[in-house]
């Protein structure tokens, strides 16, 4: 028993660090949302519904459908290239405000990738978010009393996520 406790206490490990990641959006050339514009991002989450089975005087539960949660992404908004303009172009693919025309999903749904990096820049984890689109965009407020940079907050909805490794 003492050997087990000693071995558990001295197992070397390297934790994943929150600031070592690259968030990329496929088709970034046409949307202009390059990876360096991403300030913060979340990893995927999933919640499963429950199915209640009533049998005689027993109740059992089994897993129902899974629903992937949204991801909040915060962008820097530089003067050039304007992240606000790039976000607006992506939004226009799903909804054109001037005409009221909605777009086809094949045009506005993108594939996003979250790559978590190790201490020497090696790729240690990769998520692929399939069918990602902008559910909401908040272009944030302005303030005469602040020197903080302007950010844009996006809530992204996706169909499903896959952990590659």
CB 72 within 8 A of CB 153: yes
List of residues 6+ apart from 82 with CB closer than 8 A: 32
Domain count of the fold of the chain: 1
Distance CA 22, CA 145 (A): 32
**Does residue 55 sit within a domain?**
no
Instruction: Please report, in tens digits, the pLDDT of each residue of the chain (165 residues total).
Output: 556 556 666 678 889 999 999 999 886 556 558 889 999 999 999 999 999 999 999 999 999 999 999 999 999 999 988 999 999 999 999 999 999 999 999 999 999 999 999 999 999 999 999 999 999 999 999 999 999 999 999 999 999 999 999
**Does residue 154 sit within a domain?**
yes
**Does residue 57 sit within a domain?**
no
Expressed as residue numbers, the domain containing 158 is: 15-44+70-163
**Does residue 147 sit within a domain?**
yes
**Does residue 5 sit within a domain?**
no
State the pTM of this model: 0.85
157: CATH: 2.30.110
């Amino acid at each position: 028993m003492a050997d087990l406790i000693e071995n558990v206490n001295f197992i070397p490990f390297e934790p994943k660090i929150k600031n070592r990641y690259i968030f990329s959006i496929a088709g970034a050339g046409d949307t202009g949302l390059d990876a360096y514009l991403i300030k913060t991002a979340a990893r995927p989450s999933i919640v499963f519904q429950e199915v209640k089975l009533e049998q005689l005087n027993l109740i059992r539960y089994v897993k129902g459908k899974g629903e992937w949660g949204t991801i909040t992404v915060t962008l820097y908004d530089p003067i050039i290239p304007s992240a606000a303009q790039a976000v607006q172009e992506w939004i226009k693919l799903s909804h054109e405000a001037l005409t009221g025309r909605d777009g086809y999903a094949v045009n506005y749904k993108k594939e996003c990738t979250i790559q978590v990096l190790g201490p020497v820049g090696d790729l240690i984890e990769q998520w692929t978010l399939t069918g990602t689109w902008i559910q909401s965009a908040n272009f944030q407020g302005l303030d005469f009393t602040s020197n903080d940079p302007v950010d844009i907050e996006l809530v992204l909805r996706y169909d499903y996520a896959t952990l590659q490794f």
